[in-house]
Structure 1
Amino acid sequence: MKYSLPTYLVLFILFAVNSAIAQENQTIFKGGDLKRSGGYGALSNKFTTINGSYANMPEVYGGWFINRRLMIGVAGAATTNRIPVPVENQYITGERLSYQYGQFGLMTEYVTASTKRVHVNFNLMTGAGFILQYDRNGWDNWEFEDDANDPDFFFVMEPGVQLELNLFKWMRFSPGVSYRRAFGSNSKGLTDDELSGLSGNLTLKFGRF
């Protein structure tokens, strides 16, 4: 039986939860006191689908980490690879058009047992998403007023869960899964369901934890 990458990540997280609860060491490579409050930034890469096609989506987020439990901040992400636009949905026929998807908004994370070297956290991004078409061969073709780009904005929310490893006092590694849900999209040939989907992610976090 074959499993997708997000499915493997789910299984990995579930397998590690019990051991995460029992861990007593603060970090994997070096111990030491963690700050009560601080802040951190995260560099993440998501593996997901848009309209049934693979989408690679780097993400940056960060904010204030309160009482070793709750992070409140902002996030932004966008696709980097070609996501082909079906001929029947193209605003300029005969071109090598690709979808560009992005999202940005409020990011919150709730961290369980932050001082344990392996633990679990839950996150939620809520904000705006957008989808447009562009010529993959012309990287400077980013004029939003051009009808060919078909910019469409909508509401998006993305809850997720991560297994978090405290590598150092200032660095954490957090593989996880999330589910992106779009609401109110109006792009030609794309429904909310086609813009929604499961994502796997690999994340590095840096800061004062």
Structure 2
Amino acid sequence: MKRTLLSLTFILGLGATVSTFAQDNQTIFQSRGIYRSGGYAAISNKFTKINGDYANMAELYGGWFINQRFLLGVGASATTNYIPVPALEQNFPARKMTYQYGQFGLMTEYVFASTRRVHVTANLLTGAGFTLQYDRHDVDDWDWDDWDDRHDNDDAKCFFVMEPGVQVEFNLLKWMRFSPGVSYRKAFNAKGNGLTDSDLSNVSYNLTLKFGRF
């Protein structure tokens, strides 16, 4: 009888202990939930290098801003300037062959102390990158009649890309922020168009304006 009572007491005690730990095992989303939801869009200009040459990139990203901390959205960017293609790597002969680079994908951003006038953000773009070549005509060089014929040999190559970065963010207005920063673009398995992973992977410096409900 005593053994039965002791066993019953042990089982009840163990059950109470497990129940206590189960109650204490709370997750972030269960304990806090989403108490504030907003969103913003960002326009950015990046300064970097591709294949050793200066590259200017225009970028646009934005999404859902959760709890004044975490952005979940999408982003895209592409080069805007002339990036010369070496003669041996040209897909077809032209006077001014240039590389075009672009990337797009999932954009996440974490904002530290978002309500402070000056704070820090960390972001990450993961998605696809692409390269192609085209003849970058001057204004006087356009010949619309043979445009399609001269671009039949264009060969866009896609690959995986990641770009983590950090920014120092200034709250200019309730709905606008200025965020200069730096990031590192890493290409994976880039092949074709005479460009390798190392040719495409490089540091980028950016100037960014953000608009929205923070």
Q: How far is the alpha carbon of 1:189 from its aligned partner? A: 1.9
1:180 and 2:185 aligned = yes
1:165 to 160, 166, 170: 170
Question: Aligned residue for 2:92?
Answer: 92
Instruction: Give the whole-Å Cα distance in 2 for the aligned partners of 1:168 and 1:131.
Output: 38
Instruction: Give the whole-Å Cα distance in 2 for the aligned partners of 1:94 and 1:204.
Output: 37
TM-score relative to the length of structure 1:
0.79
Alignment of 1:37-48 (within 5 A): 37-48=37-48
Structure 1 residues 103 and 142, CA gap change in structure 2 (3 angstroms): farther
CA contact (8 A) 1:91 1:147 kept: no
Letter in 2 for 1:125: L
Higher RCO (Cα < 8 Å, 6 or more apart): 1
Structure 1 residues 206 and 189, CA gap change in structure 2 (3 angstroms): same
Q: How far is the alpha carbon of 1:188 from its aligned partner? A: 3.2
Instruction: Give the whole-Å Cα distance in 2 for the aligned partners of 1:135 and 1:194.
Output: 20
Question: Aligned residue for 1:206?
Answer: 211
Question: Aligned residue for 1:27?
Answer: none
Question: Aligned residue for 1:108?
Answer: 108
Q: How far is the alpha carbon of 1:77 from its aligned partner? A: 0.3
Structure 1, unaligned runs of 5 or more:
1-34
Question: Aligned residue for 1:72?
Answer: 72
- Note the alpha carbon deviations across 1:40-86, whole angstroms, 9 max, x for none: 00000000011000000010000000001100000010000000000
Q: How many positions carry a matched residue from both structures?
A: 174
Secondary structure of the residue that 1:126 maps to in structure 2? strand
Question: Aligned residue for 1:50?
Answer: 50
Structure 2, unaligned runs of 5 or more:
1-34
Secondary structure of the residue that 1:148 maps to in structure 2? coil
Secondary structure of the residue that 1:193 maps to in structure 2? helix
CA contact (8 A) 2:157 2:193 kept: no
Structure label with greater radius of gyration = 2
Structure 1 residues 73 and 139, CA gap change in structure 2 (3 angstroms): farther
Instruction: Give the whole-Å Cα distance in 1 for the aligned partners of 2:129 and 2:147.
Output: 17
CA contact (8 A) 2:46 2:204 kept: yes
1:156 and 2:153 aligned = no
Coordinate RMSD, CA, aligned? 2.0
**Higher normalized helix content (fraction of residues):** 2
Instruction: Give the whole-Å Cα distance in 2 for the aligned partners of 1:139 and 1:199.
Output: 35
Question: Aligned residue for 1:62?
Answer: 62
Instruction: Give the whole-Å Cα distance in 1 for the aligned partners of 2:106 and 2:125.
Output: 6
TM-score relative to the length of structure 2:
0.77
Q: How far is the alpha carbon of 1:96 from its aligned partner? A: 1.1
Quote the sequence identity (%): 66
Letter in 1 for 2:75: A
- Note the alpha carbon deviations across 1:93-133, whole angstroms, 9 max, x for none: 24310000000000000000001010000000000000000
Runs of 4+ in 1 over 4 A off after TM superposition: 138-143
